[in-house]
Amino acid sequence: MAKFKGAVVVDTEKCKGCNLCVVACPTGVLSLAREVNGKGYHYSEMTGPGECIGCANCGMVCPDAVITVYRKNVQN
């Protein structure tokens, strides 16, 4: 059982679907949505919340600063 669990919240209306966060994610919890946002981009979304470790790689590589990352210690 992982010590930390994380979650990613994407501001989907500002996301441009560049896919860089999807590639940067070490556990593969992000993917581009089938739906598009108001600008017509396939925005990034969290598909497997159980696996996110809250490493913040996605937030760091996001050129549009639309990702917020949360991490919680779940060992206790």
Partner 1 sequence: MSVELKEIIKEENIVYRKTPALTGNVMHYCPGCSHGVVHKLIAEVVEEMGVRDKTIGVSPVGCSVLAYNYIDIDWTEAAHGRAPAVATGISRLHPGKFVFTYQGDGDLASIGTAEVMHACNRGENIVIIFVNNAIYGMTGGQMAPTTLVGQVTSTTPRGRDVKLNGFPMKITELLARLDGTGFVTRQAVHTPPAIRKAKNAIRKAFENTKKDKGTSFIEIVGTCSSGWKMTPVEANRWMVEKMFPEYPLGDIKDI
Binding site residues, partner 1, CB under 8 A: 1, 5-7, 9, 14, 16-20, 23-24, 41, 49-50, 54, 56-57, 59-72, 74
**To the nearest whole angstrom, how small is the minimum distance from the Cβ of residue 70 to partner 1?**
4
- Least Å from the CB of residue 35 to partner 1: 16
- Beta-strand ranges (E) seen in the chain are 4-10, 30-32, 44-46, 67-73
For residue 24, the minimal CB distance to partner 1 (Å) is: 6
Q: How far is CA 57 from CA 8, 17, 35, 52, in A?
A: 11, 16, 24, 11
